[in-house]
Each structure stands twice: as C-alpha cells, then as structure tokens.
Amino acid sequence: MYQELNISDKTIKLIEKAEDSLKEIFHQIDTSCMRNTAKVLSAFQKYNVSENYFNSTTGYGYNDLGRDNIEKIFAYCLDAEDALVRSQFISGTHALTVALFSYLRPNDLMLSISGLPYDTLHEVIGIIPNNSSLASFGVKYDQIDLINNDFDYPKITEYLKNNKVKLIEIQRSKGYSTRKSLTIDKLEKVIKCIREVDKEVIIMVDNCYCEFVEDKTPLTVGADIMVGSLIKNLGGGIAPNGAYIAGKKDLVNLAGERLTCPGEGREVGPTLGINKSLLQGLFMAPHVVASSLKTAILTSKVLEDLGYEVEPKYNENRADIVQNIIFNDQNKLIKYVQGIQMGSPIDSNAVPMPWDMPGYEDQVIMAAGAFTQGSSIELSCDGPIRPPYIAYQQGGLTYEYGRLGVARAIEELQNSQSE
C-alpha cells in the first residue's frame, strides 16, 4: 500500500511510534472540534439555511438572499456584530488592504504591535515604497516589536500616551518570521492594556490561519475588527476563493464601501454561484482545521524525533495551523518542500524550485499540490530562501491525507541525507 507512494516501512514505523504518544492531544483537538462544529450547526439553523441560499446573482448582485445571510452566519460563528464575506476579495492580503484603506486617512497613524507585518503587506503600508501604498496617501506607520514572543506592554502603554494612534494592527500568525504565533489569551491581555489607555483606537487583527484553532475569536476578547482568508481555515478546502472582514457593524460597512463604492457598499456584489461552496466550506471547516492541527502536531513530533528544531513543539498550545521546521540548511529545506509536493494529489510530478514570487523580497519555494491555487488549508509547505531556512507547513484536508503527505516529505528528506 505504501510502496506505491514511495514511502518505506521505516518511515511508517516512525510515524506510528509518534502517533502512540499523541493520542491525548488528538482527543483534545477532537473535543474542541465538536464545540466549533456545534456552533456552526447552530448558525445554520438560526438563519434557516435552505436551498434558496444556493441561488446565484450576476451583474450588480442586488437582493442576494444567500449572500446576505451567509454574512450573518459568519458573523455568528466569529462572535461579530457583522461580517463582509465576498468572493471579490482575492486573498487575505487583499481583504487586509481593503480594511486598512477603509479606516485610515491622510495623517492618521497606524501602529503594528506584533512587529513587522507579513511580507505581502510591506508595499501596501509603504515599508517598501509603492505609489499606491498607504504612505503615498500620507498615512504614517510605526511598529513595536515583540519581546520574548509576547507584547511589549510598557512600550505600548507609553507610545499610546504620547501619540494619537488611529489603528493598531496585530498579526496573530507568525508569517515568515521566527516568532511564535499569538494565542487568544495573549490577545485578550494586550487588548485590556490598550483600552486602559485609549478606548477609541481601532484594534484590527489579522486572523489568517487561526480560525477554529481555539474556541474564542479576537472579537470575543475585545478586538474591533478582524480579517481572514477563505482559502485558509474557514473555507474548509471547498471555497474556491474569497475572504472576510468581521467585527463592529460600522467598520464592516466602511469596508463594504471601500470594496465596492460609496453609496452602494454591501448592497452590490454578485455571487456568481459561489454561495453553496462558501456554506459547505464553513460547514466542514471545524473538522478540516482539526485535521490540519493533527497533521501539524504529527509533523512536529516526528521531525523533532529525527533531530530537527521545530516550532511549535508537539505539546505546546497552538494559535494557528502553521508548523515550522528549522533546517539551517538550504538543501534540506528544498528537499522537504519538494517531498510535500510529491505527496500531494495535484501536480505530484512537479518539482518546486525557488523563484521570485510577487510580493516577497527573497526567493520563495512553495509546494502547493492543491485543488485551489494558493490554498493553505490544503497540505502545503513553503519558505523563503534565507537563513535559518525554515519550512512553513500548513493544512491537511483530512488527517489521513496529511499523514501520507508528511510521510512522503520525510522520505525525501531522509533519502537526500543518504545520497
């Protein structure tokens, strides 16, 4: 059975040994999955989802019953007053861009308190000059770095006392950095700290990769707005594209007017037949996220057993579905990523190589043998070609497929060492 996938008995035994020590952790994931599944089912029943919601609109998209109720369902699941859920968002970065341009005006100050944002936002903000950036419109930017993987509370407090900040941005997932991702507990603590100094500042959270990993959302603990992608957690591997902006109603409405145009806002936007996929994706999302977590934890355990540095470790609390493997070796990074591609259902014969990917300063190698281009809720792995040569792995539509994909990557890594 495994030989046809070019996976040796030795690798399978490594995985089975690791699984024996992970049973209790997997049980905890299943318990959390059940809670999130119950929440999603409650939302579907509360808003009386029927086949009528699957109907499609074209053109302007006026009076789309399915679209409007999908946004109510997402808002319920995310503990939000309201949500903007649209296929017109092409990525999480696009949704973040729409949100930032919705809330910031010339001479406003944006402050990141989780350090440097993800690479694709650098030109959006103006960290890398771009004539269409926030900076080009006179929006100012500053940042406060994390200390020991936690917020710098004294510096944040002092900064807010001495500066009028319009928007605070917090990126929960690590991006292409070496820091830890930020749990809800840490988020709750820093939001409380911020509100003791400034009750008006907009607190916006980049929640990509984090939905349904924990039982609470950033909005549950006091954030004003959060943003995420539907080809990550909440799309369940079924949504073909899209993203969401969720939170306070007035802020969601502003984002709607920036996505389309003032005066029309959320009243327009054809769904073009996507409603059923969005609903099915959300319906499956708790289970798919649980499978991704199990895949990540298995990866962490096996790679650590093989002597590699991993983050987070298999028994640590997690905030997202991302697993880091620190190779400290360019060739090992490349071989592992290529192994993930070999273990994928789509384009398994393709050989990923480092390339100049749009929006990134360094070359990036990316394995993405996925049904949806760029989907990182499906098993994928990527990393910038720069020291310490970290693989960022995420996804796994089912644990079984994730397990096999990781086994193939380990096989390729082990083979490269024996060459």
Domains and CATH numbers, the chain: 3-37+283-418 (3.90.1150.60), 57-272 (3.40.640.10)
Give residue 418's pLDDT. Answer: 62
Q: Assign 380 to helix, strand or coil.
A: strand
Residues sharing a CB contact under 8 Å with residue 19, sequence separation 6 or more, in sequence order:
298
C-beta separation of 125 from 110 below 8 A: yes
Give residue 37's pLDDT. Answer: 98
Residues 160-206 have pLDDT tens digits of 999 999 999 999 999 888 899 999 999 999 999 999 999 999 999 99
How many C-beta neighbours within 10 Å does residue 394 have? 23
Residues 269-289 have pLDDT tens digits of 999 999 999 999 999 999 999
Residues 341-384 have pLDDT tens digits of 999 999 999 999 999 988 788 899 999 899 999 899 999 999 99
* Confidence at 417, pLDDT banded by 50, 70, 90: confident
> What is the phi/psi pair of residue 43, to 5°?
-65, -40
Residues 110-159 have pLDDT tens digits of 999 999 999 899 999 999 999 999 999 999 999 999 999 999 999 999 99
C-beta separation of 391 from 381 below 8 A: yes
Q: Is the pLDDT of residue 415 over 90?
A: no
> DSSP states of 130-173 as a string?
-TTSTGGGT-EEEE---BTTB--HHHHHHHHHHS--SEEEEE-S
Please tell me the distance from the alpha carbon of residue 28 to that of residue 45, in angstroms, as a whole number.
26
Please tell me the distance from the alpha carbon of residue 190 to that of residue 197, in angstroms, as a whole number.
11
Paired strand residues for 366: 382
Please tell me the distance from the alpha carbon of residue 306 to that of residue 96, in angstroms, as a whole number.
38
Distances (CA, A) of 384 to 40, 111, 173, 372: 36, 26, 16, 22
* Confidence at 253, pLDDT banded by 50, 70, 90: very high
Please tell me the distance from the alpha carbon of residue 252 to that of residue 85, in angstroms, as a whole number.
10
Please tell me the distance from the alpha carbon of residue 341 to that of residue 365, in angstroms, as a whole number.
11
1 token code pair: 């059975």
- The average pLDDT across 225-239 equals 98
Please tell me the distance from the alpha carbon of residue 218 to that of residue 184, in angstroms, as a whole number.
7
Q: Is the pLDDT of residue 16 over 70?
A: yes
Give residue 358's pLDDT. Answer: 81
Percent of the chain with pLDDT over 90: 95
Q: Is the pLDDT of residue 419 over 60?
A: no
C-beta separation of 36 from 212 below 8 A: yes
- The average pLDDT across 47-76 equals 97
Give residue 357's pLDDT. Answer: 84
- The sign of the dihedral angle between the CA atoms of 85, 246, 207, 109 is positive
Q: What is the CA radius of gyration of the chain?
A: 21
Mean pLDDT, all residues of the chain: 96
Give residue 15's pLDDT. Answer: 97
Please tell me the distance from the alpha carbon of residue 80 to that of residue 100, in angstroms, as a whole number.
18
Question: 167 or 419: which carries more pLDDT confidence?
Answer: 167
From 76, 114, 78, 122, select the one nearest 96 (Cα to Cα).
Answer: 122
Q: Is the pLDDT of residue 393 over 70?
A: yes
